[in-house]
Amino acid sequence: MLEGVSPVERLRTSYWQALATNWMIWPFVQLANFKLVPLQYRLLFVNVVSIGWNSYLSFLNSSKTKGMEEKQALA
């Protein structure tokens, strides 16, 4: 709401893309984490992947916001 975009519109435009990407990444990350990564490094491994995941979500959010602002400007 603080970005000037309806939360419903935000969910409609970016939720399914983020969820589908989540399903493609995290099961494999966790499989590798529990199969290959030693116990003492598991938290570090997940945190490093989380940095990339949060960066992706931020990029997705900002790109959808920019597209919605351009769409509103044209209307």
Each residue of 38-52: pLDDT tens digit?
999 999 999 999 999
Separation of alpha carbons 43 and 60, rounded Å: 25
| Tokens matching residue 33 | 């984490």
Residues counted in the chain: 75
Helices 7-36, 42-74: axis angle to 10 degrees equals 160
Question: In degrees rounded to 5, what are phi and psi of residue 74?
Answer: -75, -25
**Average pLDDT taken over every residue of the chain:** 87
Of 8-12, 29-33, 63-67, least confident by mean pLDDT is 63-67
pLDDT at residue 29 greater than cutoff 90: yes
CA nearest neighbour of 64 among 21, 20, 7, 25: 7
